[in-house]
Structure 1
Amino acid sequence: MTRKLTATIAGLLVVGLLAFDLAASEPLDPYAQPPVVALGSGAAASGAHCASLPTE
């Protein structure tokens, strides 16, 4: 009985978190995304640890 109760509570928490995230976030705009391959375009990568290289 304890395992079923724990699994049910965990499942409800995950579903609740997903529902909250979908309700609170704005939909993605595929046209505002950076290009997948931007060779020579001048667009720099951002948002990841590999993008924080020294600029000097």
Structure 2
Amino acid sequence: MLPDETPEEAHARAIRAAERQDMVDELIRAFGIDLPDEPITRPIPVIRIDDEPGSWLSAG
């Protein structure tokens, strides 16, 4: 919930997000891509910019 958001607004926003996700999932299935049966519930690791090794693309 956002700081200036009422519970009703937060609920409506959550419903809209779920509907968008359902639509995206249906589009993915329409293209023949299998979705995992269970949603991802573990955190996805983020690589900090200073932890990233130098790349020849960035001359770093």
* Fold-level similarity (TM above 0.5): no
Greater C-alpha radius of gyration: 1
Q: Which has the higher helix share?
A: 1
TM-score computed with the length of structure 2 as normaliser: 0.40
